[in-house]
């Protein structure tokens, strides 16, 4: 039973990633198999040689066998095409950044502007001076440094790049502040969701939560830059999520 429970859990996870919740699939399977025609078919071919208890046991096992067969099929499919947790994001036209460390921000800007040559606009969301004791001072000066970096990069590449610092700076302790800021940027920049990416690498944890929550309802892309002390920055990686997998539909 423990093995079966583990299989069902893994099947549930795989199906949710594909956008199909397991309870609905099981219910549909049971309804399909527990029709009068299916029952009559079992009784017609096996009713003469098996007892009533054995026939009922077979009818009970049919849905379980269906679930196991579906699990094996998905497992086989995943062997051919494994889910990649570290997928580089395609180049975007608009990049929204939470500001703390300049290195990760500059890495993301270089990726979209220099490597993919798609970036046209950068929005920088700095933290305010609220709660300095807990979160430190405002990151506005870092945002200004990144803004200057964008302007210099634009001159070097001889291509237009428009950096903009979001004001007022958001509270580092309140996710709602960042949520409102990101939603405001979505409305202000007037771009299609597929042209925009929100990077939550920087900022405080509440700021990251606010950015993520702002992106989920509208399916805007999310990315992050990973950092390894020995090998430096990597990415930016796409955060691959499906609303149905998180019961957001």
Distance separating alpha carbons of residues 43 and 34, to the nearest angstrom: 13
User: What is the pLDDT confidence band of residue 218, given thresholds at 50, 70 and 90?
Assistant: confident
Query: Using one digit for the tens of pLDDT, what is the confidence trace for 1-18?
Result: 455 555 555 555 555 555
Strand-pair partners of 127: 170
User: Among 127, 128, 123, 135, which Cα is nearest to 97's?
Assistant: 123
* Domain ranges in the chain with CATH number 3.40.50.10770: 87-246
39 contacts 59 by C-beta, under 8 angstroms: yes
> What phi and psi values does residue 50 have, to the nearest 5 degrees?
-115, 155
pTM: 0.65
Class of CATH domain 87-246: alpha beta
Q: Are 64 and 19 in contact (CB under 8 A)?
A: no
pLDDT at 246: 52
Tens of pLDDT along 23-47?
555 555 554 555 456 666 666 666 6
- pLDDT at residue 219 above 90? no
Alpha-carbon gap, residue 176 to 150, rounded angstroms: 28
């Amino acid at each position: 039973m423990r093995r079966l429970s583990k299989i069902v859990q893994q099947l549930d996870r795989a199906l949710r990633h594909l956008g199909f919740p397991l309870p609905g699939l099981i219910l549909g399977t049971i309804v399909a198999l527990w029709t009068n025609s299916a029952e009559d078919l079992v009784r017609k071919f096996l009713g003469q040689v098996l007892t009533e208890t054995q026939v009922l046991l077979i009818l009970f096992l049919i849905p379980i066998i269906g679930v196991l067969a579906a699990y094996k099929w998905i497992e086989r499919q995943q062997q051919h095409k494994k889910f990649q947790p570290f997928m580089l994001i395609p180049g975007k036209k608009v990049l929204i950044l939470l500001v703390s460390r300049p290195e990760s921000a500059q890495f993301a800007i270089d990726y979209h502007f220099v490597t993919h040559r798609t970036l046209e606009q950068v929005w920088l969301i700095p933290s305010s001076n609220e709660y300095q004791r807990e979160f430190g001072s405002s990151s506005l000066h870092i945002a200004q440094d990144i803004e200057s970096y964008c302007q210099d990069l634009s001159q070097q590449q001889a291509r237009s790049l428009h950096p903009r610092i979001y004001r007022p700076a958001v509270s580092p302790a309140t996710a709602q502040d960042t949520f409102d800021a990101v939603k405001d940027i979505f409305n202000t920049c007037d771009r299609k969701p597929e042209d925009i990416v929100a990077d939550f690498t920087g900022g405080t944890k509440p700021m990251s939560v606010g950015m993520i929550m702002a992106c989920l309802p509208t399916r805007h892309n999310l990315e992050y830059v990973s950092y390894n002390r020995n090998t430096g920055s990597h990415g930016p990686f796409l955060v691959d999520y499906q609303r149905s997998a998180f019961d957001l539909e």
